[in-house]
Amino acid sequence: MIEKNVLTDFSSTVSEPLIDPSTYIHPLAAVIGNVILGKNIMVSPTACVRGDEGQPLYVGDDSNVQDGVIIHALETEEHGKPIESNLYEVNGKKYAVYVGKRVSLAHQVQIHGPAVVGDDTFVGMKTLVFKSSVGSRCVVEPGVILMGVAIPDNRYVPAGSVIASQADADRLPAISDDYPFKNLNKGVIHVNTNLAKGYLKASKTK
């Protein structure tokens, strides 16, 4: 389902999702409102990217939004005025949620803005990212909760961790050559970009 958002006192503009033609949206996924999806993205069944409260939501090229993922955000406008505390600035523009290039959001991940996920990062199954930024080239293992923190580049977050203070975030281990999941994201990106191309082609031949 792809549809516009509605007018409210926290959304003064009706927006239709901007989706690159090379991106595949499964019929059982929902993309709503002020959403920008780049090239070669796979949006899997039951995923929901809902830009009707916090806006805009952005997902970069070659990323994947897997089954059951939710991308949503706290309101970014009140009676026509921006709520700056609920926005992140990336490359000179402000976003409620910004997901970079070649990012994997695995099954049932919740990215609840304000939030940023940097390029080449893997976010594991059933993880919550809320009011947080995750750097580039990170691995967030399954079942993690990140709240109100900034994860530096090239770090991994052990499975099941709750990181709710910046001191804990700064102590997270760096990804070394012998870290077993160092190259996990590359394989996931390869699979999902190919799935996007395949499903898109198949949908045009029905």
Catalytic residues: 53, 75
Could you give the maximum distance between any two Cα atoms of the chain, in Å?
53
Q: Tell me the residue type at 197.
A: K
Query: Encoding tokens for residue 97?
Result: 């949620």
Element (H or E) spanning 32, and its range? strand 30-33
**Measured distance CA(155)–CA(203) in Å, rounded:** 38
For residue 184, the SS3 value is: helix
Tokens encoding 188? 């996931």
Phi and psi at residue 62, to the nearest 5° = 65, 20
Let me know: does 34 contact 15? Beta carbons within 8 Å: yes
Q: How far apart are CA 196 and CA 44, in angstroms?
A: 9
